[in-house]
Amino acid sequence: MEAISSKILLIIFAFGLIIHSIQANERPYQQSNKLFIRNTLFLRNSCRSTTYPRLCYVSLLKHAHFIQTNHMLLTGASLNVTLAAVKSTSALISTLAKSHGLKPREVAAMKDCVEVLSDSLDELRRSINEMSHLRASNFELTISDVQTWVSAALTDQTTCTDGFQEINATGNIKTMVRRIIVQVAQMTSNSLALINKLATSHY
């Protein structure tokens, strides 16, 4: 009997703590709270149409206040974030390629990666540029171009992981390179999903 009531007390106490922490967290947001909830809800729902919804949400959360509930801004922000990720990945692989103790094969595979990632960067830049010229009058043609460029960017990234997979690279570096490339490929795939959604929303 006593054991049960102390358990209940503990639950009530824990519940009080949770409520308190929620209220404490809410205070700084009070003014913009409604907007914040609306924007993050839009982001979460939009990301559901992508293949990697969690990565989509996490990578774009910082831009939620800018995106608001605008699908066009969401798609543009997603392309921007993907471009930045490919850029830093390419720089990281360039640095890793200079590591000591790599076999010539491994260095060659990394240099190949940096090269295809550079193509991928060009394609993403073109997509972002095309997106900025998107109008009702040129919608279908422009979106179709953007779909083509982003698909090409994704293919280039896949070329990099495939090339790296074929060689027997040292465990750690191989795992690391694969992991970061896979992540940017997932971000690119998410951007493509958002573009495809934008394309169908027009009809």
Cβ proximity to ligand NAG: between 70 and 144 the closer is 70
CA angle 57, 29, 75 (to 5 degrees): 25
* Chain Cα centroid distance, residue 132: 20
Cβ proximity to ligand NAG: between 79 and 160 the closer is 79
CB of 18 to ligand NAG, least distance (A): 35
CB of 159 to ligand NAG, least distance (A): 18
Cβ proximity to ligand NAG: between 20 and 65 the closer is 65
Strands (E), the chain: none
Which residues, at least 6 apart from 56, have a Cβ–Cβ distance to it below 8 Å? Answer: 46, 47, 50, 78, 187, 190, 194
Cβ proximity to ligand NAG: between 35 and 155 the closer is 35
Cβ proximity to ligand NAG: between 59 and 76 the closer is 76
CB of 77 to ligand NAG, least distance (A): 4
* Residue 128, token pair as written in the block: 């972002």
With CB atoms as reference, the residue minimizing the distance to ligand NAG is: 76
* Chain Cα centroid distance, residue 185: 9
Which residues, at least 6 apart from 99, have a Cβ–Cβ distance to it below 8 Å? Answer: 173
CB of 74 to ligand NAG, least distance (A): 8
Residues at the site binding ligand NAG, with contacts judged by CB under 6 A = 73, 76-77, 80, 168
CB of 30 to ligand NAG, least distance (A): 27
CA angle 55, 188, 39 (to 5 degrees): 50
